[in-house]
Structure 1
Amino acid sequence: MNFTIPIPTNFSFQECLWFLDRNYDDCLHEVRERSVRKLLLLQGTPTLIDISEKEGSLFVSILQGNSDEKAILNFVKEWFDIQRDLTDFYQLLSKDSDLNYMVSEYNGLRLLGIPELFEALCWSIIGQQINLRFAYKLKRRFTEAFGTKLSFENSAYYAFPSCEVVSKLKVEDLLPMQFSNRKAEYLIEIAKQFVDGNISKEKLSELSTEEALKKLIQVRGIGEWTANYALMKSLKRLECITYGDVGLYNALHGLKNFPKRPSRGELESFFINFKNWEAYTVFYLWRSLAIPT
Structure 2
Amino acid sequence: MARGVKVTPPERQRPNPLSEPSDARSEASAAPAQTTAPRLAATAVDIDLPEPFSAERTLAFLQRSSLGVPYSFGPHGARRAVHLDGHLYGLDFRFQGRCLRVSLLAAQTDGAPHRDPQHDPHRAPAPGAARPGTARRGLTPPDAERLRSLARHLWGLDDDLEDGYRVLGEDPRMASLLAAHRGLSMTRTPDPYEALLTVVIGQQVSVRAASAVRRRLLAELGDAIEWEGEPVAAYPTPERILEARPERLQTVGLSRQKARYVLEIAVRAAAGELEPQRFAGLDDQEALERLMEIPGVGRWTAENVLIRGLGRRDVLPAADLGILVAVQRLMGWEHRPTEAEVRALGVRWQGYRSHAALYLWALLGGT
Report Cα offsets for 1:159-184 as digits up to 9, x if no partner.
11111221232221122222111111
Q: 1:252: which partner in 2?
A: 327
Q: 1:49: which partner in 2?
A: 91
Determine whether 1:143 maps to 2:218. yes
Determine whether 1:114 maps to 2:180. no
Letter in 1 for 2:307: M
List alignment gaps of at least 5 residues for structure 1: none
Q: 1:159: which partner in 2?
A: 234
Q: Which moved more, 1:269-278 or 1:187-196?
A: 187-196
How far residue 34 of structure 1 moved from its aligned partner, in angstroms, is 1.1
Q: 1:239: which partner in 2?
A: 314
Report Cα offsets for 1:142-197 as digits up to 9, x if no partner.
11111111122222221111112212322211222221111111000111122234
Determine whether 1:177 maps to 2:219. no
Q: Secondary structure at the match of 1:241?
A: coil
CA contact (8 A) 2:191 2:310 kept: no
Identity of matched residues, %: 26
TM-score (norm 1): 0.92
Alpha-carbon distance change, 181 to 16 in structure 1, aligned in 2, over 3 angstroms? same
Q: 1:264: which partner in 2?
A: 339
CA contact (8 A) 2:155 2:187 kept: yes
CA contact (8 A) 1:15 1:106 kept: yes
Once residues 238 and 223 of structure 1 are traced to their aligned partners in structure 2, the CA distance between those partners, rounded to angstroms, is: 19
CA contact (8 A) 2:82 2:89 kept: yes
CA contact (8 A) 1:167 1:189 kept: no
CA contact (8 A) 2:318 2:343 kept: no
Q: 1:8: which partner in 2?
A: 50
Q: Secondary structure at the match of 1:58?
A: strand
CA contact (8 A) 1:26 1:136 kept: no
How far residue 135 of structure 1 moved from its aligned partner, in angstroms, is 1.2
CA contact (8 A) 2:70 2:232 kept: yes
Instruction: Name the larger-Rg structure.
Output: 2
Report Cα offsets for 1:40-85 as digits up to 9, x if no partner.
2232332222212224211222344464223321111000110221
Q: 2:161: which partner in 1?
A: 86
Q: Secondary structure at the match of 1:179?
A: coil
Report Cα offsets for 1:4-25 as digits up to 9, x if no partner.
1011122111111111222879
Alpha-carbon distance change, 201 to 24 in structure 1, aligned in 2, over 3 angstroms? closer
Letter in 2 for 1:132: V
CA contact (8 A) 1:171 1:181 kept: yes
How far residue 217 of structure 1 moved from its aligned partner, in angstroms, is 1.0
Once residues 25 and 280 of structure 1 are traced to their aligned partners in structure 2, the CA distance between those partners, rounded to angstroms, is: 16
Alpha-carbon distance change, 286 to 226 in structure 1, aligned in 2, over 3 angstroms? same
Once residues 258 and 19 of structure 1 are traced to their aligned partners in structure 2, the CA distance between those partners, rounded to angstroms, is: 26
Match of 1:75 among 142, 147, 150: 150
Report Cα offsets for 1:184-235 as digits up to 9, x if no partner.
1100011112223444322122211111111111221000001111011111
Q: 2:271: which partner in 1?
A: 196
Report Cα offsets for 1:227-286 as digits up to 9, x if no partner.
111011111111212132111111111111346653333112210110011111001100
CA contact (8 A) 1:170 1:188 kept: no
Pairwise CA RMSD: 2.0
Determine whether 1:29 maps to 2:67. no
Once residues 226 and 3 of structure 1 are traced to their aligned partners in structure 2, the CA distance between those partners, rounded to angstroms, is: 34
Alpha-carbon distance change, 25 to 81 in structure 1, aligned in 2, over 3 angstroms? closer
Alpha-carbon distance change, 258 to 188 in structure 1, aligned in 2, over 3 angstroms? farther
Q: 2:349: which partner in 1?
A: 274
Determine whether 1:40 maps to 2:115. no
Aligned residues: 292
